[in-house]
Structure 1
Amino acid sequence: MGDSHSKPDVLVLRKGTHGVPIEQYATALRNRLSDRTVSLARTPAAERELIRDAEYVTGMVLEEPLLERAENLGVFACAYAGTGHLPVDRLEQRGVAVTNASGVHGPNIGEHVLGSMLRFARRFYVGNRRQRRREWRHYQVAELQGSTVTVVGLGAIGQAVCDRLEPFGVETIGVRYTPEKGGPTDEVVGFEEGPFHEALARTDYLVLACPLTETTRGLVDRDALVTLDPEAVLVNVARGPVVDTEALVEAVRSSWIRGAALDVTDPEPLPEDNPLWNFENVRITPHNAGHTPKYYDRLADIVAENARRYGDDSDAMLENRVL
């Protein structure tokens, strides 16, 4: 049913991500934990059986019926950066520690954001259209250098974006809950309407890299989109509901902004009849910025180290602990 019928040091649940077989994740963990037992529960029945005694479990999801079978669970190492899909209340009641995959996505999402910005600066989409028409005709472009980039969220992804912007000669504004902490940007403001809108008024590229919270839900609304300069570009690699979709459609139709690059939408998947699909100055990718062939390796670095710490001392400090 699974790799092992004895109690494993680490149990890997069966759901993979980004179309990459979960076996690769189990192999990456085994390579880092050669002195420990790593079992992969490859079927629903194997999950139900092996989770009963497992203390350290990792996977993309942990649904409540499976959690209720886990008699000895001490740690759930979530293989996603976000944990909102987990039965957090029940995990907390049970005293289960939860870690996430924060930091795993930094390089790939940072590159995705940078590519999105360069696409608009150099207007590659116009070049693509003219190539399809076999039309050799010059067109106007801009430079990223000298722009002001506002990054909302200065966690691992926001940091990765800022690192990659460093050589491009841009001014950066960071938006975070605790601006007094500073950050990797030239200046930092909070989410209060006054400072946030003042930052938007100076913004050429607005990058959303924040978690979805009560504060960030609907953050980029009609007021925010009107406040942005008509030449501004929105790049969303956060969560769809951070942006008011109806207001964004109106903004693009009315040229309130130059365009948008959306890796996430609200709703998601974006319905086929949504007008955003049809605008040349809106680039939509299917929540794909997180894809990288290095995903399981980077994740395994964190999870294996935590498994080793936990195996040596169940009260040890765990990296990326969120609960």
Structure 2
Amino acid sequence: MRDYADELAARLPEYTVSLARTPDAERALVRAAPVVTGNDIDRDLLDRAESLALFACTFAGTDHLPLDALAERGVTVTNASGIHAPGIAEQVLGSLLTFARRLHVSWERNRRGVWRHVQSTELKGSTVTVVGLGAVGTAVVDRLAGFEVETIGVRHSPEKGAPTDHVFGYDAIHEALARTDYLVLACPLTDVTRHLIDGDALATLEPSSVVVNVARGPVVDTDALVAALRTSGLRGAALDVTDPEPLPADHPLWTLDNALVTPHTAGHTPEHWPRLASILADNVRSLLDEGGSTPLENVVQRG
């Protein structure tokens, strides 16, 4: 984080305040800053931000922010959408190949020194359904291009088309699930997508299917998922996000051999900080452009 903040400070002196590097005693700087960046900004700090024009959230999701208060103050909000996509997409591919080639089984036997044949399958010829076709979902589809798989996209507005072989709306998700070997969840958490993958959805999938969740934990009904994994109603699940999160040490997901859990780190590579700095730097230049000819990137809410 410090490398990113130092780079940004060098490029944009005296204009941007990063909450990631600003200790409590120095947060008075926020009072005069036109741009503030960080994971969050609380209402007390926002009340002191008299000159704030842009809050650049370093997360892709902004549902945790006081968006109503920011709107009341005329502050534009941007997010970090897209900066994590390459890393997350690579982890998705790793998860798909892990289950296709059953590498997790070989790894477990390797730890015990057991030389025993593992019957794997091929990703080729399977159907991969990607729910959510934003930056992450699109990056996943792009990386599947060389694997000779059929792809299905599920999105809020299917009339927009998709880079997949087929596209469905959320209202037809069961039709997509019935054709799915690998289900990748890369959608935002909304009223529509909360528990989108519930017991009924999991029952629609073939027992040989695998679920990969890099979206948000509550997109999946955790209890229903655990039940499906325990009863062979599902071959496996790779979860970079969970509900609850963090996942308690005594949670049953930790005990399942067919569940791979990572602590919400799929997109956390060193490369995402330079990407974030580039977006922020371009947006600051746009604010400084009095003619307003350059639009802001990644706008979530205009002030």
Which AA in structure 1 matches 2:248? P
Change over 3 Å in CA distance of 1:59–1:72 after alignment to 2? same
**2:202 is aligned with 1:222:** no
Cα pair 1:51 1:69 within 8 Å, conserved: yes
The aligned counterpart of 1:158 is 137
Which AA in structure 2 matches 1:171? E
* Structure 1 residues without counterparts, runs of 5 or longer: 1-21
SS of alignment partner, residue 218 of structure 1: coil
Matching residue within 234, 245, 267 for 2:222: 245
Matching residue within 137, 142, 152 for 2:116: 137
- The TM-score normalised by the length of structure 2 is 0.95
The aligned counterpart of 1:190 is 169
Moved more, 169-178 or 265-274: 265-274
In 2, Cα distance between equivalents of 1:63 and 1:37: 20
Change over 3 Å in CA distance of 1:81–1:155 after alignment to 2? same
Name the Cα RMSD after superposition.
1.4
Change over 3 Å in CA distance of 1:72–1:31 after alignment to 2? closer
The aligned counterpart of 2:234 is 257
Change over 3 Å in CA distance of 1:42–1:305 after alignment to 2? same
**2:295 is aligned with 1:317:** yes
Cα pair 2:236 2:259 within 8 Å, conserved: yes
In 1, Cα distance between equivalents of 2:212 and 2:192: 19
Alignment of 1:157-176 (within 5 A): 157-176=136-155
**2:62 is aligned with 1:83:** yes
Cα pair 1:259 1:281 within 8 Å, conserved: yes
Which AA in structure 1 matches 2:156? Y
In 1, Cα distance between equivalents of 2:138 and 2:11: 27
Cα pair 2:16 2:34 within 8 Å, conserved: no
- Find runs of 4+ consecutive structure 1 residues off by over 3 angstroms: 30-34, 36-41
The aligned counterpart of 1:104 is 83
The aligned counterpart of 2:106 is 127
In 2, Cα distance between equivalents of 1:314 and 1:86: 30
SS of alignment partner, residue 129 of structure 2: strand
Cα pair 1:32 1:301 within 8 Å, conserved: no
In 2, Cα distance between equivalents of 1:39 and 1:183: 38
Cα pair 2:228 2:234 within 8 Å, conserved: yes
Cα pair 1:76 1:97 within 8 Å, conserved: yes
- The TM-score normalised by the length of structure 1 is 0.89
Which AA in structure 1 matches 2:235? R
SS of alignment partner, residue 322 of structure 1: strand
Which AA in structure 2 matches 1:101? A
Which AA in structure 2 matches 1:46? E
SS of alignment partner, residue 213 of structure 1: coil
Alignment of 1:5-16 (within 5 A): none
Cα pair 2:123 2:147 within 8 Å, conserved: yes
Which AA in structure 2 matches 1:206? L
Moved more, 23-32 or 270-279: 23-32
The aligned counterpart of 1:19 is none
Moved more, 270-279 or 100-109: 270-279
The aligned counterpart of 1:23 is 2
* Structure 2 residues without counterparts, runs of 5 or longer: none
* Residue 129 (structure 1) shift: 1.8
In 2, Cα distance between equivalents of 1:288 and 1:313: 39
SS of alignment partner, residue 144 of structure 2: helix
